[in-house]
Amino acid sequence: METCIKNWLEELRVQRRYSNNTVEAYRRDVENFREFISEHTGEDFSLETVNDLKVSDFRSWFSHRINEGLTARSNVRALSAVKSLFNYLARRNLVDLKVIDSVKRPKLPALLPKPIKEAAILDFINLDCFFENDPDWITKRDRALYSLLYCCGLRINEALNIKTKDAGDEIKITGKGKKDRIITPLPSVLEKIREYIVECPYDLSGGFLFVGLKGKRLWSSLVDNRLQKLRLLHNLPDYASAHAFRHSFATHLVQHGADLRSVQELLGHESLSSTQIYADVDDYNLLKVYEKTHPMEKE
């Protein structure tokens, strides 16, 4: 078994080109599994032991890890590592995958999005400049981009994939699964986009709307790097990111009484369940909307 694990790790590193950090994390998770199973069964960790495992043995392992202070998210990662080893062994006809394929992934708690406060995000968007040494057209580009992200709740790559020819009073967005939707930004946002287009030294008519210093397509990594620095300069929360603008858009709409179905369509979510997390972001504000709008309150 020692040789099998060593060869499996080598396959991850060489053939699958996993990073050294990922390979090391997988090794630790499998080592943790091996130690637990050996103590749990009272037998050496061998192919025979592995083939005799039951679903209850995996559940006991999860419980042990939780008692040790590890999270469900950590258990999901550890199960992924063990499944990777089992798949390696199964390809060599050394184990049967029937049991491990029956092991359900630990349920992860819903992670509520962290919105940026309304005042903070509006003050940020309306700054005279973001970086003092930026050309004026870069400032206008960033202001247009941040405004678009917050106004329409776009994913960063949805915004960066916009073609200039598609950016009129209505803008065609290509979302996940290459599904198109049409958004209608507020007039103030459209004006910021026009100001950027006019100021930009490059001809944008035949390509992407948002470009970098050399006139090439702007990439999300650059946007995120700039935002990391801007957080420190302008007192934004440490979770402020391009995606946080999207979360803030949805959260603030719900807080002001928007229904989830409408927010779902604006975000481009295929399922309402993806939008459901915003129902819990601020119970107090939702209660105020309820009290204000329910017919009995008007009696």
Domain boundaries defined on the chain = 2-102, 118-293
Q: Which residues contact 209 (CB under 8 A, 6 or more apart)?
A: 162, 163, 164, 167, 193, 197
Q: pLDDT tens across 200-210, in order?
A: 999 999 899 99
Residue with tokens 């999270």: 71
Which amino acid appears at position 120 of this protein?
A: A
CATH T-level fold of 118-293: hpI Integrase; Chain A (1.10.443)
57, two tokens: 């043995």
pLDDT of residue 135: 95
| Residues with a known catalytic role | 155, 176, 243, 246, 269, 278
Rg, the chain, Cα only: 25
pLDDT band, very low/low/confident/very high, at 105 (cuts 50, 70, 90): confident
pLDDT of residue 283 exceeding 70, the answer is no
Higher-pLDDT residue of 222 and 291 is 222
Average pLDDT in the chain: 87
Q: Which CATH class is domain 2-102?
A: mainly alpha
The stretch 56-84 carries a mean pLDDT of 89
Q: Is the dihedral of CA 136, 139, 140, 141 positive or negative?
A: positive
Do the domains spanning 2-102 and 118-293 agree at the CATH topology level?
A: no
Angle, helix 242-255 to helix 118-125, in steps of 10 degrees: 130
Residue with tokens 């598609």: 166
Distance, CA of 28 to CA of 85 (rounded, Å): 12
Distance, CA of 39 to CA of 57 (rounded, Å): 11
Higher-pLDDT residue of 238 and 216 is 216
pLDDT of residue 285: 54
**Of all residues in the chain, what percent carry a pLDDT higher than 90?**
54
pLDDT band, very low/low/confident/very high, at 37 (cuts 50, 70, 90): very high
In DSSP notation, 149-202 reads HHHH---HHHHHT-BGGGBSSSEEEE-GGG-EEEE---HHHHHHHHHHHHH-SS
Q: pLDDT tens across 117-153, in order?
A: 999 999 999 999 999 999 999 999 999 999 999 999 9
pLDDT of residue 281 exceeding 80, the answer is no
The stretch 25-39 carries a mean pLDDT of 93
pLDDT band, very low/low/confident/very high, at 284 (cuts 50, 70, 90): very low
Q: Which residues contact 153 (CB under 8 A, 6 or more apart)?
A: 245, 246, 249, 250, 253, 263, 266, 267
